[in-house]
Amino acid sequence: MRAVLTEPFAANLIASPPEVQKAFGKQLTNLLRDLRHPSLRAKKYEERTGLWQARVNDDWRMYFTIEGDTYVLRAITAHPSRPGSPRWGQDAVATSIRGLSRSLASTEHRSVAIQSPCPCLPVPAGS
């Protein structure tokens, strides 16, 4: 399996706190090794669109689809059910997921070049 970061995912990852970026790196490694890794607690989030959710840490989640041998990482956000989260509450969750579902209608992906240093992602040799 391999992973592809969508542009919105990469932008949100870069904007996330450093501890979330570090946790994401660890969890991405776990995801690529085994979707059923216990720390991910991965689950099918929306059957209709094939959207999955997995834990980054206690407060953050990543959302992805599986297309062939590729995890397409769609979003990384603060957990919507945590008090204090900017998305706390069921209305915010529903709005967020509807928006994400609409974006899943497009199966087009572009490679993402991350300009900002992100400790969770390895720098390719020769960069």
pTM of the model: 0.70
Instruction: Considering only residues 9 and 102, tell me which one the structure prediction assigns the higher pLDDT.
Output: 9
Whichever domain contains 17, its CATH number is 3.30.2310.20
What is the pLDDT confidence band of residue 104, given thresholds at 50, 70 and 90? Answer: low
Cα(79)–Cα(94) distance, integer angstroms: 13
The structural domain count of the chain equals 1
Domain assignment present for 115: no
Whether 76 is in a domain gets the answer yes
Containing structural domain, residue 88: 2-103
Torsion angle of C-alpha atoms 51, 52, 55, 60, degrees rounded to 10: 0
Asked if the structure places residue 97 within a domain, the reply is yes
Residue 86 lies in a domain: yes
Query: Does residue 51 form part of some domain?
Result: yes
> Tens digit of pLDDT for each residue in 33-82?
999 999 999 999 999 999 999 999 999 999 999 999 999 999 999 987 65
